[in-house]
């Protein structure tokens, strides 16, 4: 049966080759050969599945023909136009033998996918979001996304840090592959991390390459993340003719990594030059204004100086006239006041004389009589008081008391009746009518009244 099937395949297909469009589902390289699993689908549903082989001789031929695009075309998920033969083996069954690949179809697919990505981003309202962001003129804090080992990456850093315009940039680097199966995912992850930092702009770099090399920058998910980033994104992807979707949705597209670096420092340099030019213009304009104002000030000064002298002279004469009028008015007023004072003085003098005469004739004699009577009464009462006080002093005279039999005894000049000292054995002085008696106290017999 297998022999019959082999004969049927050989007789009907023989050595004929066919151009077939298929999607690469899986790819495996071993011993120089490439083993593929190809699928066909309709609206996301697999409608056919077959295995295919590229033998090592064909692999070398295809690699030579495609060059660097070889690795980018034979990637899972890409649709490829294969030239192949149909073969049957008794043990391994039906196989497809790939002879060649037409890259033009893949390029067309790239353009088709690119347009689909653009239309999808526009339909979602994301396409122009980056253009609405403000890109600072002084973009000094830069987040750099790319592969550090590439020439384009090194060119950017070298140009940004070794130019003659401005070099004081702060660069935060985020490593990511820019080609291969993992490139899109790594670029997205680096972009998400970069926008979480305080930076003025995010620069995404990739050196030169073919359309297939740059296809990662047409990726929908990557382009969407660029659109959603709230930090301005600058692309420096090394191509001059074809634009990738990342270029179309970013805030600023530069054709090479070096051009991206130049844009950043030239923008600052231009601003600095414009600022200096504006400053110089302001200085020159100010100097011109000051020169004009200086002349105007000089003329005004001269005018004021001349007119001020004239004004002062006129005011001086007016002031003298007013002073003369004031002086004459003051003297006249003073003379009037003097006449009024003299008049009042004469009236007061006349009234005073009349009052004094009246007092002398009528009031003064009666007041003098009352004063004499009151004075005599006062002196009589004082005389009686003095006589009473004299009698009292005579009664209280100590000498009279001593003559009556009283004595005064002291110990250390303290009245014995008031002393609190222990007086036994001490000297006591007793004053009596006959004289001062000195004695020594030997014993004190206290009377019962004092004891109580």
> pLDDT at residue 12 above 90?
no
* Token output for 131: 């253009």
Percentage of the chain modeled with pLDDT above 70:
90
Which is higher by pLDDT, 77 or 198?
198
* Token output for 423: 């007086």
pLDDT value, residue 171: 93
> pLDDT at residue 211 above 90?
no
Question: Lowest-confidence range among 75-84, 116-125, 170-179?
Answer: 75-84
Q: Is 26 helix (H, G, I), strand (E, B) or coil?
A: strand
DSSP 326-393: HHHHHHHHHHHHHHHHHHHHHHHHHHHHHHHHHIIIIIHHHHHHHHHHHHHHHHHHHHHHHHHHHHHH
Percentage of the chain modeled with pLDDT above 90:
24
Radius of gyration of the chain (CA): 67
Catalogue the E-assigned strands of 201-328: 201-206, 233-237, 252-254
Banded model confidence at residue 89, pLDDT cuts 50, 70, 90: low
Banded model confidence at residue 14, pLDDT cuts 50, 70, 90: low
Buried b (16+ CB within 10 A) or exposed e, 325-351: eeeeeeeeeeeeeeeeeeeeeeeeeee
The whole-number average pLDDT for the span 117-146 is: 93
Domain boundaries, given as residue ranges, for the chain: 2-105, 124-271, 400-451
Q: Count the neighbouring beta carbons within 10 Å of the beta carbon of residue 22.
A: 23
Which is higher by pLDDT, 68 or 432?
432
* Tens-digit pLDDT profile for residues 281-303: 888 888 888 888 888 888 888 88
How open is the CA angle 223-268-194, to the nearest 5 degrees? Answer: 35
CATH topology for 124-271 is: Rossmann fold (3.40.50)
Q: pTM to 2 decimals?
A: 0.49
Per CATH, the architecture of 2-105 is what?
A: Beta Barrel (2.40)
pLDDT value, residue 140: 93
- Residue 23, beta-bridge partner list: 39, 79
* Token output for 100: 């060649």
* Tens-digit pLDDT profile for residues 245-268: 999 999 999 989 999 999 999 999
The order of strands in the sheet holding 408-411 is 414-415, 408-411, 427-432, 435-440
The whole-number average pLDDT for the span 319-340 is: 87
The whole-number average pLDDT for the span 394-413 is: 77
For residues 100 and 34, the answer to whether their CB atoms sit within 8 Å is no
């Amino acid at each position: 049966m297998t022999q019959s099937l082999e004969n049927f395949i050989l007789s009907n297909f023989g050595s004929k080759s066919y151009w077939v469009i298929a999607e690469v589902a899986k790819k495996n390289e071993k011993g120089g050969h490439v083993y593929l699993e190809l699928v066909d689908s309709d609206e996301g549903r697999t409608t056919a599945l077959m295995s295919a082989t590229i033998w090592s001789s064909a692999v070398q031929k295809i690699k030579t023909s495609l060059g660097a695009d070889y690795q980018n075309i034979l990637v899972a998920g890409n649709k490829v136009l294969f030239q192949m033969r149909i073969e049957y083996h008794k043990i391994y069954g039906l196989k497809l033998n790939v002879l060649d690949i037409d890259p033009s179809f893949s390029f067309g697919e790239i353009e088709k996918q690119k347009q689909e990505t653009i239309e999808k981003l526009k339909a979602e309202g994301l396409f122009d979001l980056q253009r609405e962001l403000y890109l600072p003129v002084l973009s000094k804090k830069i987040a750099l996304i790319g592969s550090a080992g590439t020439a384009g990456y090194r060119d950017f850093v070298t140009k940004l840090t070794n130019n003659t315009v401005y070099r004081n940039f702060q660069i935060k680097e985020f490593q990511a592959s820019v080609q291969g199966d993992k490139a899109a995912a790594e670029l997205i992850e680096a972009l998400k991390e970069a926008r979480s930092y305080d930076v003025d702009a995010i620069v995404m770099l990739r050196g030169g390459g073919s359309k297939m090399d740059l296809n990662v920058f047409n990726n929908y998910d990557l382009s969407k993340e660029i659109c959603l980033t709230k930090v301005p994104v600058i692309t420096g992807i090394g191509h001059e003719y074809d634009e990738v979707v990342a270029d179309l949705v970013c805030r600023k597209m530069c054709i090479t990594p070096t051009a991206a670096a130049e844009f950043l420092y030239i923008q600052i340099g231009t601003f600095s030059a414009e600022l200096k030019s504006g400053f110089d213009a302001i200085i020159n304009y100010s100097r011109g204004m000051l020169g004009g104002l200086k002349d105007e000030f000089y003329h005004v000064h001269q005018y004021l100086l001349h007119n001020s002298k004239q004004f002062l002279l006129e005011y001086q004469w007016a002031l003298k006239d007013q002073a003369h009028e004031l002086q004459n008015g003051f003297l006249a007023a003073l003379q009037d006041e003097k006449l009024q004072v003299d008049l009042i003085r004469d009236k007061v003098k006349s009234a005073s004389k009349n009052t004094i005469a009246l007092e002398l004739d009528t009031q003064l004699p009666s007041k003098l009589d009352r004063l004499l009577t009151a004075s005599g009464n006062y002196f009589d009462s004082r005389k009686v008081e003095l006589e009473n006080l004299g009698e009292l002093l005579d009664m209280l005279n100590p000498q009279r008391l001593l003559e009556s039999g009283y004595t005064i005894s002291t110990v250390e000049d303290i009245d014995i009746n008031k002393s609190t000292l222990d007086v036994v054995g001490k000297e006591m002085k007793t004053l009596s009518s006959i004289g001062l008696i000195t004695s020594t106290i030997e014993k004190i017999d206290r009377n019962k009244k004092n004891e109580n």
